Structures are given as structure tokens and as C-alpha cells.
Amino acid sequence: MDLSTLGPFLVGVITSGLVLGFVYAIIALGYTMVYGVLQLINFAHSEVFVTGAVVGFEIFRVLEPSPMNGYLKLLIALIAAMVASGMLNVIIERLAYRPLRNAPRLVPLITAIGVSLILQDVIRIIEGFQGRFDLTYKLPPAFNTNFCGADSSCEALGTALTKVGISLQIKEVIVVAVSLLSLALLNYLVNSTKLGRAIRAVAQDRVTAGLMGIDSNRIIALTFLIGGALGGISGVLFGMKFGTINAYSGFDPGIIAFTAAVLGGIGSIPGAVLGGLVLGVIQNLIGVTNVLGSILNIANLQAIDASYQRIGAFLVLVLILIFKPTGLLGRSNTEKV
Amino acid sequence: MLELDNIHTYYGHIHALKGITMSVPEGEIVALIGGNGAGKTTTLRTVSGMLKPREGRLTLRGKDIAGIPAHDIMHLGMSHVPEGRRIFPQLTVRENLEVGAYTVSSRKIIEERIQEGFKLFPRLKEREHQLGGTMSGGEQQMLAIARALMVDPKLLLLDEPSMGLSPLFVEAIFDIVVMLNKERGTTILLVEQNAQMALSVAKSAYVLQTGEIKLSGNAADIANDDTVKKAYLGED
């Protein structure tokens, strides 16, 4: 490669980083919403998300021989994953967190880690009984073809995109479209509905929300339902994008999405989205640093490869905690007395 | 309207209310005065279900309400303006009012009451889309009262509405309190450190000291009581 290919190369890397970033963003929303109402990092969210990925895998597996439209299969997979992950999150809250509502904050945090470990093995056992460990998504073949590729009705657009460095598969376009739709729905729900106002009121002042007639336990449970459903969606998207998942697949994206939530400002919904996109792009850029090294002919850079990606995410986490603990879009609550 | 009979409330092991008996008759303003830590706020919190009395009877319009959680009591026609106002800082003025009407289902009634609130406090109308936390203390107090009125309460519990406000705002807030009582017939239980102000608008009053009622009666008589004058009205 030489310098003339650098532009399109970077555009391609950033584009696929954004696709990945949308998945992180949707996962990060699950962390940030629960944090918003309970000031709890729900470490079990990574398994809630894997549950969605497993349910998505099962739906595509069972429906594989069916001649059904691929997008209909996708819709069924998404809905099933939302229901499964949402319900699971509600059950976790009811059994593990609600009894600890008045305990010191460290207690539910440790519990969350425990729930996470338990669920990992439950998922492994359930799939392991059927002789499966690595679950490879059986997507409708059309999803693996190029977006606006050869012989499609929008071939001209595809060619133009390829020229600037963007070449996406159908499934990646689906990831972005589903993410944007989820974000739009969540934004409407939180900012323009009665339930959304109640969620924000409980997040800001649970006791006073009670004086307004709001049953905060019910609102917290609904928040876990919504956060879990988002986890389910992101699980299916993650499975589609990476193809293969297993019971322990939640850890890495979970930690990165948590970092994204902190980067954007934990508790802030736009912050989680911004954080997810930034980390997706950073991760992909680090993954190709060796390629950049050879294009720019810098020997030291050529030694940095994809195994440094996690370092990148954690470096961001450390820097943000040192220099801007409230995150990019977070704000410290200022109250007048 | 509201009856407390020998109410005992605890904070953990601390015996905060030691047998409070008081009565808030329909259509009246009743003042509850006393020094810091006397148990005024605890009394209101017990009434609105934020705290559970360990002993005693608590009735609202004849219905036993002891132990009913705060979020259910609001359905019974009572509204509580908490100490320190506690408006939602990251919600706009309008959203604060809408949350106040959480138990009201008709959008039309909610909108009517928001407009009534704006009529009562024109300042809130100007600030409609501003975040609650960015307003001055006096404006926040107006918002807290307007928010409590969204359920059209028969009984309004007011906890230290004058706290931290400039004299001008205190005057304005008390004018509204009197107006609500006269024009809407709202029964009001008013907790105040500003005893002088509270006694001037109330019909009857109770003086609370370390969790017990020390004195009760006609507000005018209490204002003339020598010990009250010394302890709470700053007169010698």
C-alpha cells in the first residue's frame, strides 16, 4: 500500500468502526439506563446481552430450513431476544438487586458480578447439553452479500461507495439500521412519554417521585425491562456482525460498552451513544495500526496489531476517569438549597 | 380532615415522635411550629407515608392511612411539598408539573391544571422550558407548590415554604397559601421555622418540642404566649 490508498483505507476502517460502535452504543445504553435509576453498574448486563445473542442464534438455526423471508426471520429473532433478555433482566433485578435496595452500594455491585458469573455458566450448560459451545450464526445468505453489490438495483451507489473506501455487507447495514431505529424509539420513550418522565424523575430523586404517586419499584423494574430488551437487540446484532459467539462472549464487549458509557457520561443516553461510536472507531483504528505503519513506513507502528485493541479501550477509560470523571456529556447534578 | 392520635415514629433507634396527637379540621390552615430537630418534618413524613409510625392512629377523611406507602396515599387527595422543595433539577418546569400529575390520567385536566399553575405563578410560565435546577430558590418553591397542586389536593402539607427565601418571596408564597385556603377551600398543614408568619395566617397551631406537642390552641393565643414569644418569635 502507498499513501494514495490511505484515504479510502481510513474511511473504510472508520466506517466499520462506526458499525461496531453502534453495537457498543446499544449495549452501553443498557448499562447507563440501569445506572441512571439505581446508581448500580449492572455487571450482569453482559450476560443479558449474550442471552439475546444465544436466542438470536437459536431462532436463525431453527428457521434456517424455512423458506421464510430473511428479514422476517430477523424480526422474529430480534423480538424473541428482546423478550428473553428483558425478562431475564427483570428477574435479576427482582431476585438479586431489590432485596439490597437499602444496602451500601458496594453490596449490589459485588452481587452483580456474582450474577454475571452464574449466568455465564448457566448459558454454557444449556447450550453444552446440546453439544454446542461455539454458536455460529446461520444467517440468511443474502445478509452476507455486499450492500449494493454487483447486479443489484443500486450497483451505481455501491460502486461510488467502494471508490471512497466504504464497502459494507447487508448485515452491517442492518446493524446500523436496527441501532438507529432502537435509538429513535428509546429517545422518544424517555423524552416524550409519561413513562419516560417517570423514569427520569425516579433517577433524579426516588423519594420525591414517590410523593408524586410514582411507585419507584415498578419504574425500576420497567427500566430493567427496557435496558434488557436493548441488550437483547445488541446481542443479535453482535452475533450477526461477528458470526460466532459463546457463553463467555459477553465479557469483552461488555467491558468496552461499560467504558463507552463512562466515556460519554454514565447515566447519559446521548453520552452512551457517543461513547460507543468513539470506542468502535478507536478499536478499529488500533486494529490497523500495523497497516498504517507500513503505509507511512514507520517501523514502530507496525508492531501494534489487533491484540492491542483492549488496551486502547482501557486507556480511554483511565484517561477519562483522571481528566473528566463525569464523561464527555455527563453533568454533575447541581442542586440549589 | 386529618387526625393524628398518639403517633410514635422512629428513625432506626431514635424515638423521633413521642405520641403526637393533633387534628387538622377541614378548610383550615393549621401551623406546626418548633425549633430545629423538634420533629416537624418527621410529622409530615409520617402523614404522607414516607415514614411508618410504630404506634398510633392516622386517619385521613376517616380512612386509616398508617403504613400506606407514599405513592399510594397521593390517590387520597393529599399532596406534600417536601422540605427543601425537592423539585426535579434535570426536568423542565413543565415536566416537573407533568410528573406532579402522574396519578391524573386525563391529558385535558393535566393541561388545565398546568395553565392554572401558570396563572398562580406567572414566573413559572416564563420559565416553562427551563430546567428546574437552574431556577432561583424562590422560583423553585413556586414550582414545588404548583407541582403539588397538580392533583387538586383537598389537603396540602407544606414543609418550610419560607426556608432560604428573600422576604419578598416569603410574602408572595404566604399570599398564595392564604389564597388557596380561601378560594379553593384547601386544607393546609403548614410547618414553619418562621413562626411569626405561620401564626399570622393559621387558625390553630401546635408547638412541637423534641417530639412532643408542648402547646396547642388558637393561633392568635399561641402568638401571645410568653414562652412561645421568647423561644420562637425572638421577642423578650
Decide if A210 touches B, using CB distance below 8 A: yes
Q: Return the pLDDT at A2.
A: 65
Amino acid at B113: R
Question: What is the three-class DSSP state of B186?
Answer: coil
pLDDT digits (tens, 9 = 90+) for A183-236: 999 999 999 999 999 999 999 999 999 999 999 999 999 999 999 999 999 999
Kindly provide the ipTM of the predicted complex, given to two decimals: 0.90
In this complex, the residue of A200, A214, A337 whose CB is nearest that of residue B102 is A214
- Alpha-helical (H) ranges within A193-268 are 194-204, 206-211, 216-242, 251-264
- By C-alpha distance, the chain B residue nearest A210 is B71
- Distance from the Cα of A132 to chain B's closest Cα (Å) equals 48
Specify whether the CB–CB gap between A239 and A53 falls below 8 A.
yes
Specify whether the CB–CB gap between A57 and A239 falls below 8 A.
yes
Contacts of A117 (CB under 8 A, 6+ apart): none
Q: Return the pLDDT at A302.
A: 76
Question: What is the three-class DSSP state of B16?
Answer: strand
In this complex, the residue of A201, A215, A337 whose CB is nearest that of residue B88 is A201
Decide if A209 touches B, using CB distance below 8 A: yes
Helices A45-63 and A106-128, axial angle in degrees (round to 10)? 20
CB within 8 Å: B86 and A207: yes
CB within 8 Å: B88 and A214: no
Helix (H) or strand (E) holding A53: helix A45-63
- Residues of chain B whose beta carbon is less than 8 angstroms from a beta carbon of chain A are 48, 50, 69-72, 74-75, 79-80, 82, 84, 86, 88-91, 95, 98-100, 102-103, 133, 135-137, 140, 147, 151, 164
Cell of A289: 495500526
Residue by residue, pLDDT tens for chain B (236 residues) are 898 999 999 988 889 889 889 999 999 999 998 888 888 899 999 999 898 899 899 999 888 888 888 899 888 889 999 998 999 999 999 999 999 999 999 999 999 999 999 999 999 999 999 999 999 888 999 999 999 999 999 999 999 998 888 888 888 889 999 999 999 999 999 998 888 888 889 999 999 888 889 888 888 888 888 877 777 766 55
Contacts of A60 (CB under 8 A, 6+ apart): A73, A77, A137, A138, A139, A140
Q: Confidence class of residue A331 from pLDDT cuts 50, 70 and 90?
A: low
pLDDT, chain A, mean: 89
- Least confident among A34-43, A269-278, A290-299, A318-327: A290-299
Q: Confidence class of residue A336 from pLDDT cuts 50, 70 and 90?
A: very low
pLDDT digits (tens, 9 = 90+) for A109-157: 999 999 999 999 999 999 888 888 889 999 888 888 888 877 778 888 8
Q: Return the pLDDT at A199.
A: 95
Question: What is d(CA B39, CA A292) in angstroms, rounded to the nearest whole number?
Answer: 70
Contacts of B21 (CB under 8 A, 6+ apart): B4, B5, B6, B7, B213
Per domain, the residue ranges of chain A are 26-250
Question: What is d(CA A279, CA A286) in angstroms, rounded to the nearest whole number?
Answer: 10
